[in-house]
Chains A and B, each alone.
Chain A
């Protein structure tokens, strides 16, 4: 089936929805999602969205700008960071006007709380900057934007799995997708395509990410020779529920929760004397692993405690109800009575599809764009988060840059006309699926996926070394070969989720390879990327973005300079 729209948006999380709101004011928009729209993983975002509203205490966008640059270990592009922090206040007010039920101060203003790495006066003390809707902030914004899209006539293609993004002669002309219900291939032609497909945490074993977070579109673009930027920087959130990886929001520490080791010590005092438990996530995660490695886990075991027992019970009930429920259901714990066992969990990809500040996808070191192709949200790398994202900046990123991409798309509408997609591309997509369905191999995608997730976790998480990364890249080669032997039990066309998982696996392995090789070549430690064999940050050689190009002979690297406009890189102390 063939569809034609002014713009096609892949992904119905916050970035995609915000862009759809913008574009649908001027043109026809299709949003493709492999789930139902309200199921996208943005809905799981808990703690807040950052903006220097100053509702609870004085705050300024430039402090936010400084914190974001420093939090990212000075790898973020400062022109982009400034755009985001300056636009944050307008963004929050706009969301409120759209109906987002933000939590309120006693006088009825949007309430704000402390979050990791957010400070006043350039690092002097934590500041209340995170606007929140209890601990369901993503969910609250998601529904407001989804409902707005419905009102503006955005057309949703629910449960459509993207197989290919058509790029011909440096121009993106459309998207080829599988309708999950029927197994039919659909072709969408458009003047502009926005990739807003989210993250790829499922490359790791323990993750806060959803099953759907498999990075399919990044894999597709990498296969087409588009580089992926800064893939070595993957954030581990300090407080995942032990054994499950389910996220416990940083807001828990923002409201007064503290981390304790097996000796009952508030160990963050040693690692970040000024802001302690509210240090950036990379530092807190490393601190937790260090405590555990040195035998100071709880009972010498492999977790620490997040202690909320000293926090006012009313605050827990009003502002942290969701995580309290998780603790009760999954751990049998009431967080106001007992500490929560936590361990870092793979959470957020700083790296992704390189874009400029208006979401245009860039294909090389000098910043040439691909016409009609845009990206925003976690799948994109603008880069505002640099080497480590601060909490409550991801929601802000999605809405600010989703909107900007939407505006940029409106600018090009009706200029070039809708392109066409070659019949060969469509045939190729159909053939790829048919081949997968026909194959009689003995391997199972699930088995290979688990091996991938385990290997990434063991060899490429918070601490990395050359030896482990080399053995990882070898292991990934083996896994890739095994995918050729995958045989499916389900040969049907209708709602074949076994087929989808096999398709996703190919992309997960590509992303694993790009992460591993990017980590291997960066011989320094910066932000979330810690090389035990190169423990220091090395600005002389490595103050630059990595661009990893996937080729048949393995990844090839290029580099892009970091745009520093305001804050010179300095040692990161908190």
Chain B
């Protein structure tokens, strides 16, 4: 019944876009190559809608991850017009008309897999190294005090310290955009450091020393040179660099105290 009533959300006209997609299927291809698809899209359509349109109507072999389609599951991070973004959270109208060129029909939408991670197929990359880093920072609450009968109290002001950090969706945009990670693949990277901060600054946690040790080694937080790429690309607008800076200050304080 409802859909009988459903019309288009906007009566926007369709515009022409050229999706230029970097493709690579290791079963067939020796190296990546570009393919172009011209689509009619509305301003309010998502990049993900375009990819699905291509897969459904033109080329079923186009491969990408997707699930929730509204920016909370973190599946569809990819490089769109030069910047890591979620395909489901980027609308056609967000793309600059500057990408218009004489060689393509309409506005160009250039899509590549996330950088710095091995390509599995087309836009799918190997996320294992990324998730693996997370496991190195003890990503769980540690508090061996006997738990109270009810909840552990936490002042809302204290919770503010981790409020942004807990919104991370592990999409991988930040770490794969980080030049320090490009240079050192053992570097924990912004996402894992953010996770460390999420627990270090959680007033309910009791493993401060252990946690700092897990992030202050050669491939830890001092690799961060405050380049801010992570902040620029984070789809949840988390100020990751600020969290890492706070970690650095906490680590410094601790080392001075020890001396």
- Using a CB–CB cutoff of 8 Å, the interface residues on chain A facing chain B are 35-36, 38-41, 43-44, 92-93, 96-99, 101-110, 133, 136, 139-140, 143-144, 147-148, 150-151, 181, 205-206, 210-212, 236, 242-244, 246, 289, 292-293, 297, 301-302, 322, 325-326, 329-330, 341, 343-344, 444-447, 450, 454, 457-458, 461-463, 488-490, 492-498
Contacts and interface: CB of A to CB of B under 8 A. Distances in A.
Nearest to B68: A210
Contacts of B64: 497
B82 interface: no
A303 to B, nearest CB: 8
Given A35-B67, A43-B72, A494 B139 contact: no
B167 A136 contact: yes
Given A147-B140, A212-B67, A458-B3, A96 B151 contact: yes
A330 B151 contact: no
A494 B27 contact: yes
B73 A43 contact: yes
B60 A490 contact: yes
B57 interface: yes
A396 B223 CA distance: 42
A552 B202 CA distance: 56
Contacts of B72: 43-44, 136, 139, 322
A273 to B, nearest CB: 25
A401 B172 CA distance: 32
B60 A446 contact: yes
Interface string B144-163: 00010111111110010010
Contact of A458 (B1, B124, B204): B1
B8 interface: yes
B70 A326 contact: yes
Contacts of A151: 140
Given A444-B60, A494-B27, A211 B67 contact: yes
Contacts of B59: 489
B121 A494 contact: yes
Given A343-B2, A344-B2, A39 B67 contact: yes
Nearest to B124: A495
A148 B153 CA distance: 21
A267 B150 CA distance: 40
B167 A330 contact: no
A210 B69 contact: yes
B3 A454 contact: yes
A302 B166 contact: no
Summarize B's interface: helix, strand, loop or mixed.
loop
Interface in B139-194: 139-141, 143, 147, 149-156, 159, 162, 166-167, 169-170
B9 A104 contact: no
B70 A246 contact: yes
A151 B138 CA distance: 8
Given A109-B151, A150-B135, A289 B1 contact: yes
Indicate the member of A104, A106, A450 with the most B CB atoms within 10 Å. Answer: A104
B259 interface: no
Residue of B64, B71, B149, B204 most packed against chain A (CB within 10 A): B71
B174 to A, nearest CB: 15
Nearest to A35: B67
B125 to A, nearest CB: 11
B75 interface: yes
B139 A150 contact: yes
B99 interface: no
B214 to A, nearest CB: 14
A237 to B, nearest CB: 12
Interface string B48-82: 00000001110111011111111111110000000
A101 B154 CA distance: 9
Given A97-B147, A489-B61, A497-B63, A36 B131 contact: yes
A246 B49 CA distance: 14
A181 B162 CA distance: 35
A497 B67 CA distance: 12
A150 B140 contact: yes
Contacts of B3: 205-206, 454, 457-458, 461
Contact of B75 (A35, A109, A447): A35
B216 interface: no
Contact of A35 (B7, B73, B167, B204): B73
B5 A302 contact: yes
B1 A99 contact: no
Contact of A101 (B27, B44, B140, B202): B202
Given A139-B169, A330-B91, A211 B69 contact: yes
List the 6 shortest-distance A-B pairs measured between CB atoms, nearest first.
Answer: A243-B9, A99-B141, A108-B153, A446-B56, A490-B61, A302-B5
Nearest to A101: B166
B77 to A, nearest CB: 11
Given A38-B74, A144-B141, A302 B6 contact: yes
B166 A140 contact: yes
13 contacts: A38-B74, A101-B159, A133-B166, A150-B140, A236-B2, A243-B9, A244-B9, A301-B7, A322-B72, A341-B9, A343-B5, A494-B25, A497-B55
A550 B150 CA distance: 47
Given A38-B74, A329-B71, A99 B169 contact: no
Given A301-B7, A446-B57, A462 B2 contact: yes
A494 B67 CA distance: 19
B51 to A, nearest CB: 11
Contacts of B147: 97
Contacts of A489: 59-61
Contacts of B70: 44, 244, 246, 326, 330
Contacts of B61: 489-490, 492, 498
B83 interface: no
Given A97-B147, A97-B152, A329-B71, 15 more contacts: A36-B74, A38-B74, A38-B169, A101-B159, A109-B150, A150-B135, A181-B120, A206-B3, A210-B67, A322-B72, A447-B56, A462-B1, A492-B25, A494-B26, A498-B55
A94 B84 CA distance: 37
A292 B5 contact: yes
B89 interface: yes
A389 to B, nearest CB: 19
